[in-house]
Amino acid sequence: MTSLRSFTHRALILCSFTITPVCAEKYASIIIDDLGNNLEHGRDVIELPAALTIAILPKTTYARELARLATKQNKEVMLHLPMQSVEHHKHSPGTLNLHMTKNEFNKQLRQNLNSVPYVRGVNNHMGSLLTRHPGHMTWLMDELSKHGELYFIDSKTTNKSIADKMAVEQNIPSLSRDFFLDPDEEENTLRIQFDRFINKINQRGYALAIAHPYPKTIQFLQRHLKELEEQDIKLLPVSKLISTAKRSAGGDTKTENKHVACTGPTCSRL
């Protein structure tokens, strides 16, 4: 009995003084972006046996159907909100841009929210230009605050984004992504980014990644999501990760620089 007590005491001391103790709980969220245009890819993502969060583009052919399917499979649904980018001039339906008046901006945002049912939160699609403008980000957060308990995720398509900062100022629950898992579609890149994702979780206790419904990404996740469980990492819907991150406030919250990690074809459209 004495030796057991001694062992327990030493374990508690270890957990108290280790920066990221082996006994600490660890959490992750993975958002799958760009859903709504392809029913097959959307179904493949939704059928993955994990608590992924599904980000659906507004005004797309399969937005409502995929949102319903995701909800039935206990997947959290987000609005993947199109915003004006610096370089990409082909705008998605529902894109918010700098030339809109406040009324036009809010009307478009409401239409986008109404086009995707079961939405719990919002993240930006593209937006490397719009997310650096405080006026438009204030409009966004003001309008989101009128639609219940919606959260906002800054996809960080530029390191100049102030979207997360504005969300915090407006008391909107928020986080910024830490990693893109598939800045290109190479298997080796997926492996490297997934390892970096896991390392960040082990260091900080949580991390947020974004991926896309590419066939290679879906296949990779089918094979490797189990590695999170093997390392005692719990995959959460984004809404729950935000609460977890709040409890961990004061730790390392620095996110990955998009221009370091996102250099493939995906990034040229952001």
Task: List pLDDT tens digits, range 20-53.
Answer: 444 589 999 999 999 999 999 999 999 999 999 9
What's the pLDDT score for residue 12? 40
Please give the pLDDT value at position 2: 44
| Sequence-separated (6 or more) residues with CB below 8 Å from residue 79 | 55, 56, 58, 112, 113, 116, 119, 121, 122, 123
Structure confidence by residue, pLDDT tens digits, 150-203: 999 999 999 999 999 999 999 999 999 999 999 998 999 999 999 999 999 999
pLDDT at 13 (0 to 100): 37
Q: Could you tell me whether strands 179-180 and 174-176 are parallel, antiparallel, or unpaired per DSSP bridges?
A: unpaired
State the virtual CA torsion across 188, 86, 119, 53 in degrees, nearest 10. 10
Q: What percent of the chain has pLDDT over 70?
A: 82
Three-state DSSP state, 213:
coil
pLDDT of 14 reads: 38
Give dist(CA 22, CA 11) in Å, integer.
10
Instruction: Report the mean per-residue pLDDT for the chain.
Output: 88
SS3 of residue 116 by DSSP? coil
**Where are the strands (E) in 91-205, listed by range?**
119-126, 151-154, 174-176, 179-180
Q: Rounded to two decimals, what is the model's pTM?
A: 0.86
64 contacts 106 by C-beta, under 8 angstroms? no
Q: What is the pLDDT of residue 91?
A: 77
Residue listed under structure tokens 């995720």: 153
Query: Looking at the predicted structure, is the pLDDT value of residue 261 above 90?
Result: no
- Over residues 249-255, the mean pLDDT reads 50
Q: Retrieve residue 132's tokens.
A: 């650096």
Distance between CA 137 and CA 164 in Å, rounded? 9
Cα separation, 154 vs 145, whole angstroms: 16
What is the mean pLDDT of the segment spanning 55-84? 98
Q: CATH classification of 24-268 is 3.20.20.370, yes or no?
A: yes
| Chain segment 202-239, per-residue pLDDT in tens | 999 999 999 999 999 999 999 999 999 999 999 999 99
- CA gap 223, 48 in Å, rounded: 10
Q: How far apart are the first and last CA of the chain?
A: 61
User: Per-domain residue ranges for the chain?
Assistant: 24-268
